[in-house]
Structure 1
Amino acid sequence: MSTVTYELKGRVCVLTLNRPEARNAINRQLRADLRAALERFDDDPSARVGILTGAGKSFSAGRDLKERASDNAAGIVARPDDSMSANSLHSWRQPRKPLIAAINGHCLAGGFSIAQMCDLRIAAEDASLGITEPRMGLLAPFASLLPKLIPTATVMELVLTGQPMTARRAYEIGFVNRVVPNESLLSEAIALGERIADNAPLSVEYSKELVYRSLELDDGGLLRLTHHMYARLLESEDAKEGPRAFVEKRPPEWKGR
């Protein structure tokens, strides 16, 4: 039985971490199932946008510490890529399509990393988000990328105290895009996904890539990449369809090519 469910709702694909009895703690099976689900989503022509959420009352409480303790007792040495870390997540094939985290309940440690991996984040009012690894004698490798997303002093507070923050605080620091009532979390995420899906798929894909590449390139490299991507996009069918649909006063019919 998969620990990640896959459901299409129109043009939006909902991926649900499905170990509610363990607060969606991340064990080997969930890591493997999530990787497979993300690859399936990226290859699915019916899915334009993905949503990651958790079954039950938690998004994810992080690494399955029972599995870790069992491994320790058996002398199995943990490796950095065993966790939902920046290194392990970024070694996967990252989706070209947008991902939205719909954060319910606890979003801690490796669960925080999964939310961080997404492009947009919507949190329920009762959500709590934190990097709790220091409380367990562990390190959060994904936190090395956080200063690119939120202020360094806030990163320090998260990684040094190990204390979770509220959804409202996560919104105030810019980690979360919006906070919504618990009961409307998924519907709000789907509505946001549909608004993204209305746009040209290639434009969305290229825009996502350009924003992330801008974090690692110098000004000259970014300018060259922007010119290259802009020229490629202008050659697409969709770049011609958009202006044509505007002149003809009709909705565009995007082909994604």
Structure 2
Amino acid sequence: MKRESLSTIVFERLIASIHSGELAPGMQLPTEAELGAEFEVSRTVIREAIARLRSEGQVVPRQGKGVFVSDAPRRSFSIPTETLRTLPQTLSFLELRLALETEAAARCAMRRTEAEARQIRIEMESADSAYPNPEDVQVHYDFDFHLAIAKAAHNDYIYEFLLYLKPILVPRFQLSYVVASEMKDKYFDRIHAEHEAIVRAIEVSDPEAARNAMRLHLENSLERLRALARSTGQPTAAEPGAGSLFGSRL
């Protein structure tokens, strides 16, 4: 397991300030630039942290004014990072992602612009251009490619939800857990073929093909982690009564 991501650290510090009253209801959050300077992180990190705060109902955006602490924080969807310490819970989490992203790919194929299709291919080629050592890369190293597809689906909820998932999901496992160094070329070739099938379906505006290609890609990813679970003697699904993935906040 990797250390918590920067955006998770920023999120947790901001939510602590909200809960303590330092950031009171109705108060405007500092700008992205100001928060970036305060936490010494990029604006992308700040956006990811604020996306999580929005998903939890802790802050609300106001057009042309900024982001404000919610007057009445709502009970909301939440995935605390501490619930993803085991493979079974992570597998359950990935099943949620699969359900969302298969439809996102189909919507993308129907709605994407030509410019967005080109950007998706660029993101794929960027992710697939190098064959790094598995010890140096995360299992979900291609997440920005998936984000580009979600953005081109033209559904802000889909895109923001995946943006919310990124700092939770990406740091989970190194690729070396599921593929040996001597098998890396074969592994990356297969992943590229899966990516290419998704991109090609989007480029020709075939939603059913895009849906099926994304499902195959994510099911294969799930199966690799299920194989890891089996090899280490862990269950391949969360045990009944083992605790909710969403804690008590759903």
TM-score (norm 2): 0.25
Q: Decide which structure has greater strand share.
A: 1
Q: Decide which structure has greater helix share.
A: 2
TM-score (norm 1): 0.24
